[in-house]
A and B are shown apart, each in its own frame.
Chain A
Amino acid sequence: MIDAYLEIMHGYLAGQADERATADLLERAGFAPTPTATTFGVYRELVTRQWRAVLDHFFRAARTFALANAQPGEATWEELTLAFHRDHPPTQGNPNAFCLPFGAYLEERGCAAPMVELVDFAITRYRAMHAAHGPTVVVEGDVWPRSYAFDVVSFSRAAEAGEDRCVLAANPTTVLIGRSRRTGTLRVIRASLGALVALSEADGGGHASTPAAELPAGLTRALVEQERAVLTAEGLLP
C-alpha cells in the first residue's frame, strides 16, 4: 500500500500532477484527506528549492555569468537547470554527484564557450579536491591540465567572493588544477610549456627526460627541470 503512496507522490514531486489531482489519486488509493490546516503543496516548492540550491552553489560562477549575460532567445540559467534536472534526475545521495554531468550536458546542447568553461572549471576543481593521491601523479587522475579561452579562474574567484559585476575576459590560459600533496589545498597554477612537458614526463610515474632535440622550440632541459621543481613545490608532483 505504501508503494502506491510513494508512486503518487513521485508524480507530484516530479511535476506530473498538481496538488489537487495528487490528493484525488491518494484518496482513490486509500489515503484519505486529513483535516490539516495546511496542505502538502509546499513540498514541490521545497524539493525544487533544494536541487536548485545544489546546482547554484556548485556552479556559483557560471550562474553569476548566466544571470549577468542573459541573451534574448537563449535559455536562461533557470531554464537550463530545469531541463538538466528533468533529463538527469539525481540518483545518488551525495548532491555533488548530481552536478557532475552538467558540463557534458551543456556541451551537448551547444552552449556558449564561457558557460561551458566556467562549468568545467567548477567540476574539475571538485574532482581535484576529491581525488586520491597515489604514489605517482596521473594526468586527469589527480592533476588536470586545462586550456580555457576565457579567464575563468579570475572570474570564478571574484564571483565566488560575491562580486556581481565581475567581467569574464577573453584571455586564453592554460592551467594545472590539482590538490597539493603537501598541504591538501586546491592549487590552480598557470602552466607554461615547460610545466606541461614536466607533467607529461612524470605522468604515471615516468622518469623520462625528453631529449633536448625533441623539446618544443624555445624550451631547454634546464627550463623543464625548473618547472618540475615548481610543480613539486606546489605539491602537484610527488
Chain B
Amino acid sequence: MRTVRGVGVGFRREIAEGLLTTSRPVDWVEIISENFIGQEGRPRELLRRCADRFAIVPHGVTLSPATAPDAGYLAGLSELAARVEAPFVSDHICFSRTGGQEWFDLLPLPFCAAAASRVAENARTAQAALGRPLLLENITTYAVMPGSTWDETTFLQRIIEESGAGLLLDVTNLYVNSVNLAFDPHARMEELLAVLGPSVRQLHLSGPTHDGQRLIDSHASAVPSIVMELYERVLRACGPVPTLVEWDARIPAVDTVLDEVDRARRVWERFA
C-alpha cells in the first residue's frame, strides 16, 4: 500500500500530461474509478505513468451504496485498487442507480434510519469485497428529501458508526448545502466535528458556481475563501488529514490548478 499525505489533486484528462510532467509538488492524486476500471489503451497507459509518479486513490461515483451491490463493479474496483496499491478507496453517500439504470449524478437519500442502515450494510459488503478501507463522502443536497427524520450530521454519524467506513469530508459540499438550505456552515461544521472528527480520513476542496437559482457543486472555480476558513477549522480539529483539490469543469491550465493546491498546502502545513 502506498501512503497518502499532504495535498493532492484530481487527475483529469485535461491536465493529465501537465501533472505527469510538472516539476511543481503534487503530493498524491485521486482518479475517478469508473474512468479506469477494466480500461485498456490510453487510460491504462496513463494510469501506469501516473502510478510511477504518484500515490493514487480511486474515487468512485457509481458505488451507489443505497442500492444493491454490483458484484462486477466491486470486482473491477478491487482490481484497480490493487493495481495502484491504493491505501483506500472512496465514494459517496447517495444513490446513483435505480432499477439497473445509471443516472450519472449523486442523488440524495432521506436522512433516516432505513437509509443509513442500507448504506452501512452495503458499505460493509464493499469493504469486504475490496479488502481495503472505504471512505464515504457527504454530498451536496439541494433539498432535504421526504422521509428525513434526522439532520444530516446524525445521518452521517450513524452510517460511519454502523459501516466502519471512514469519512471523506467534502468541505465545499457542506458550504454549498449551507447556502442552498440556509444554515450556518460554521455552526454545522462544529456540530459535525464534535461527533465525526475522529472519523475524518480525507478532505475535499473545490469551487462551486451559482446558476442563478442555487449554488451548484460544479468543481469549476477556485476554492472560496469561506471554504478555506472551514478547511482550516477542520485541520485544527482533526490534524493534517490528506486533502484533495478537485477541478472538474472549465478546467484551467495545470499551473492554475496547482496554484490552488499550493494555497491549500500552505494551510495544511501549519498543522502538519
Report which A residues bind B (CB closer than 8 A): 1-2, 5-7, 9-10, 13-14, 23, 26-27, 30-34, 36-40, 42-43, 46-47, 50-51, 54, 89-95, 98, 128-133, 179, 184
Contact = CB atoms under 8 A, between A and B. Distances in A.
11 contacts: A2-B115, A6-B95, A6-B99, A13-B107, A39-B143, A43-B108, A50-B104, A90-B104, A130-B39, A130-B43, A184-B45
B115 A5 contact: yes
Given A6-B66, A130-B42, A179-B42, A38 B142 contact: yes
B67 interface: yes
A54 B42 contact: no
Contacts of A27: 146
A186 B56 CA distance: 26
A37 B35 CA distance: 36
A90 B214 contact: no
A6 B98 contact: yes
A236 B37 CA distance: 25
B142 A34 contact: no
Nearest to B182: A37
A36 B181 contact: yes
B21 to A, nearest CB: 14
B147 A32 contact: yes
Nearest to A23: B146
A81 B116 CA distance: 36
Given A7-B98, A131-B40, 9 more contacts: A10-B99, A13-B107, A38-B180, A38-B181, A42-B143, A43-B105, A43-B107, A50-B104, A130-B41
Contacts of B181: 36-38
B145 A34 contact: yes
A58 to B, nearest CB: 12
Contacts, number: 122
B57 interface: no
Contacts of A51: 103-104
B202 interface: no
B118 interface: yes
Given A36-B144, A38-B142, A47 B105 contact: yes
Contacts of B102: 89-93, 98
Interface in B103-131: 103-105, 107-110, 114-115, 118
B169 to A, nearest CB: 23
A33 B147 CA distance: 6
Contact of B142 (A2, A23, A40, A129): A40
Contacts of A50: 103-105
Interface string B176-220: 000011100000000000000000000000000000001000000
B130 to A, nearest CB: 15
A47 B73 CA distance: 21
Interface string B79-91: 0000000000000
Contacts of B147: 5, 26, 30-32, 34
Contacts of B109: 2, 5
Contact of B40 (A46, A92, A98, A130): A130
With most chain A CB atoms within 10 A of its CB, the pick from B99, B102, B214 is B102
